[in-house]
Chain A
């Protein structure tokens, strides 16, 4: 899977990431939390090879990320950026179908996967529509379906990196999106997801990486990471943490 060790990243004179160690493992969803500017997106940039770290290295299945050929890597690693700017009127299923580009699986199989991925992202009803006619949240779900289609069905050995996939979604779709991601991990994929909503992270993540000014404040299970002390220290907010009455995961309530 994807692994980083001793990661340092500088931008200008700023150290954006400092000594990060992280391993994404099979079947696990790792959430990344932290205030604005904590280095979440930079971390994702390094993990997917867009940014070159100043120290440390990233390996995918034990092989340095840079050594992978483009297509081979694309069959194992998919990335959902925060915003995508597509200014051409592709149909929804064409956008999602682009996720199948690294594969030579044939039109019939691709069409099945596109449908499955659209259904997983609860965007199947959008098929046939122009991407440009969609709302921000709908576009976000279409891109989610695209990256899901790229790794479908999410077997062992695949890694999914998501940068705030819920930022524009309504409450229902925040949950359907993360449920789809969760199911992906249950089939064996390794997932990293940047989130802002503490309760969503508490519910859907197996482990949480709490970033503070480019440093790892904590990396452990939600129960261990989401404590009033840690949240006060990193975010500067006063919270109560209780167990969810039905599910038992931590529930964060702002005071």
Chain B
């Protein structure tokens, strides 16, 4: 069997990569800041007493634009990757992904209702808007996850084909609903909607960040507690029950965490696909399928991948900016095909 990377080595490497990604993400962009200045300005923002001569501009760019964006990227990536792990565990299939089984589409549907509905009611109060969005996205995600899960199960077994087809149907339905709302929306709302659909970390603000950070922290603290139970679940539901796991409760937690995580991520950054599929896979290839490793490693790797994808989105067509959903789809879709082909051989 192929050699596995030691869990500790993997976590340390990913942590270092994560720091590097954060550093680059803070430094690079339309206005590139010298790496060393970025470091100094960043440390000053953290409150360290460092001489700030000539750093005013850097500090402003960092504090107002790049830091919220970087934190948003980290949180979205982490939460999507964790949701991917949870989905793959729940469906006991490594090809399950929040985007593929329609969860993201459900969340987008919820977000569309919130955006357009909000504008109909004369605009939402500024304070409430991000929370209402998150809530609607969450409800959409929860509804679709539960529905797809129900449809995919027969006689205690999860039928993957049915599940993926149900996901296709839900994605189409979500697309139709978002399309309908786009048609009904006025120009300003339409812009916002289009932005969700392609996914972007652009325009990140602390207001939009907070609900996501809370959800991400919750999910990141909760899921690893269930790592052993998730391992057992991979054996099968009845096998897990015979090992003393409360399977129904575990499944409810997984559905809830996924819906919450994907809902919050979609609300904050729109539809960003394939992170939830690619990241857990890469981690498993490196370190094996034990969730005690896969969960923390996916959390880190999701953040890292997201930041690098965002860097690509920012820099490839600079000074214009690609929506990040396009970048992740270009990475993720071929990867998915590769997995399909590899699985068949």
Do the beta carbons of B244 and A98 come within 8 Å of each other?
no
Minimal beta-carbon separation of B45 from chain A (angstroms): 42
B234 and A73 contact, CB distance less than 8 A: no
Pairwise interchain contact A70-B245, C-beta atoms closer than 8 A: yes
B6 interface residue per 8 A CB criterion? no
Separation of A49 and B244 alpha carbons in the complex (Å): 12
Partner of B289, one of A78, A88, A133: A88
The number of chain A residues with a CB under 8 A from chain B is 33
A13 vs B129: C-alpha distance in the bound complex, in angstroms? 55
* Chain A: minimal CB distance from B84 (Å): 14
- Which one of B12-20, B162-170, B235-243 contacts A? B235-243
A91 at the A/B interface (Cβ < 8 Å)? yes
Instruction: Provide the residues of chain B in CB contact with A61, threshold 8 Å.
Output: none
Residues of chain B within 8 A (CB-CB) of A81 are: 236, 238-239
Contact status B244-A85, CB under 8 Å: no
Which chain B positions have C-beta within 8 A of A129?
1
Q: Does B284 contact A (CB under 8 A)?
A: yes
Q: Return the chain A residue nearest B1 by Cβ.
A: A130
In the complex the two chains form, is A94's CB within 8 Å of B290's CB?
A: yes
Asked if A79 and B242 sit within 8 Å, CB to CB, the answer is: yes
Q: Separation in Å of the B242 CB from the closest CB of chain A? A: 5
Q: B228: nearest residue on chain A (CB-CB)?
A: A101
A84 contacts chain B at the CB level, 8 A cutoff: yes
The closest CB in chain A to the CB of B294 belongs to A88
The B210-268 residues at the A interface (CB cut-off 8 A) are: 228, 231-232, 234-236, 238-239, 241-246
Chain A contacts of B241 at CB under 8 A? 49-50, 70
- A73-B1 in contact given A86-B235, A88-B94, A91-B288 (Cβ < 8 Å): no
Q: How long is the Cα–Cα vector from A70 to B242 in the complex, in angstroms?
A: 8
0/1 interface trace, chain B 287-307, chain A, CB 8 Å (1 if under) = 011100000000000000000
- Assess whether B1 is in contact with A70, with CB atoms less than 8 Å apart: no
6 other A-B residue contacts (CB within 8 Å) besides A88-B94, A89-B289, A90-B289: A87-B234, A89-B284, A91-B288, A98-B235, A99-B243, A130-B1
